[in-house]
Amino acid sequence: MAPACSLLALALAPACADDSVGGTRDDEIGAEAPTEEESAGEDGESGSESGDNDGSTGSSEGEERGSETGTPCDPSDPNALPWQAREFLAKGESRADVQLGACDYHVWWVSAATGVETTITVSGVDEGAGVDLAVAYPDAPNYVEALATASVLDTGELAFEAPRSGEFAVLVRAQNPGADPQLSLSYDIEVACTNQCQFVTTRFPMVFVHGWTGFENIGPLTYFYNVREDLEALGYPVAIAVLDPYNSVDVRGEQLVEFVTATLGAARARKVNLIGHSQGGIDSRYVAADAGGGMGAQVSSVITIGTPHYGTPVPDIALGLLPGASEVVLAWLFNFLGATMDQQSDVLASLDTLSEAHMIDEFNPTYLDHPEVQYWSWAGETCVAGIGCQDTLDPLLLIPYELILPLAGDNDGLVPTESAKWGEYLGLMPADHIDQIGQIAGVTGLNYDHIQFFRDNAEMLVDGAH
């Protein structure tokens, strides 16, 4: 059932489209994600020699069959060799004098945007020896399903054009390893961009997660207004999650788990970056937490924007947990969110999730941050008539803004500034809660450019090899 038109929706478009919530694009949800058996090396993603937190090694059984034992390996079966994750190599980076045993199977990680040509150069291979190179999807790195292959005797290169944006695996193994189980050689490796280098990408897809009244489209507009189109034009891989417009984190979190799983399969990716606005940030934390979605090993980073990590007084007042005009607040919320009578119970469930009592006493102690995930946060600030800060409050948010101010101080119209801080705090946005995502229709305060804001966050992910 399509939601009724909210105050925000009415401001965005003449009428709410019937397909504003629900439905997914074909390029977001594709083939099922590979099984654990198909995702080689997944269990060991605790680090590599370089400290890359995405590295992994082959199974202990495979390591026992490695070159150090002198046990023959079977070169006719590429999957019989235990693969050993090395490092992520950005464009222009190289490594020298890498040691390779007869039965070693090195996997390096690189990234490339769709249509970009990347060239892998291997040199310095010991005289009389050779190596086989391959480029494959990272979720199941093997020679059988390789995107490109080459053999190198002394110096050689392998160029490939990326079929999609994101991470790829570069495989290196000795030629004919079964002929000499004691073989040991060294090689140098370098990665370079050789065509269409103006495009950029993160290693892992960016999944954007909406908050209240979430939608992918209302008429011609999108929740993260024109953000997807801008980032994809630059080369980045983007997926937009579509969850219930309002519900508890248990419900929305599990919906996000399903979406992330499908996105990993469609993108042939090992991990995702979650970018959540408002409650979307709480849902993202749920997905990564062991006590929630249990997908910490498949999440590289979580960026939260205007997210009430310690709750917000608005739900507490609406639910009667704090003194205040609860009926007035509830009426405003139902009207703002556009909740029909049969959806009001979902709104109440969402309010309970975002209350200060629930977030502080229940959610935060239960859904702990995953140690392998990088957490960043942004907070917003706004003021009536722009007096005292760099943003002018949208009149739609006047009621909750004035309720929060005496109870929790500076806020973005729905979330206290202090409540939005989690993990590594990146700073204050001069933007109210709806400006943060470019609403309404791309019109924000003079001191905030939402398109540039999301570009900067994408560049941060690139710089951090996420």
- Percent helix, percent strand, percent coil in the chain, to nearest 5: 30, 25, 45
**What count of residues does the chain have?**
466
The set of residues, in sequence order, having a beta carbon less than 8 Å from that of 212 and lying 6+ positions away, is 245, 246, 278, 279, 337, 350
How far is residue 402's CA from residue 324's CA, in Å, rounded to a whole number?
12
Known catalytic residue at 106: no
DSSP secondary structure of 139-194: TS--STT-SEEEEESSSEEEEEE-SSSEEEEEEEEESSGGG-TT-EEEEEEEEEEE
User: Which value, to the nearest 10 degrees, does the dihedral of the CA atoms of residues 332, 337, 338, 344 take?
Assistant: -80
Known catalytic residue at 278: yes
Known catalytic residue at 184: no
Chain centre to alpha carbon of residue 265: 14
Query: Of 278, 300, 377, 419, which one is the catalytic site residue?
Result: 278
- Collapsing DSSP to helix, strand or coil, 287 comes out as helix
The set of residues, in sequence order, having a beta carbon less than 8 Å from that of 52 and lying 6+ positions away, is 85, 87, 88, 109, 465
Which residues sit opposite 276 in a β-bridge? 209, 304
State how far the alpha carbon of 369 is from the alpha carbons of 3, 167, 240, 299, in Å: 33, 24, 23, 11
Query: Of 210, 309, 358, 433, which one is the catalytic site residue?
Result: 433
Query: Of 132, 412, 432, 435, which one is the catalytic site residue?
Result: 412
* 14, amino acid identity: P
The catalytic site residues sit at 278, 412, 433
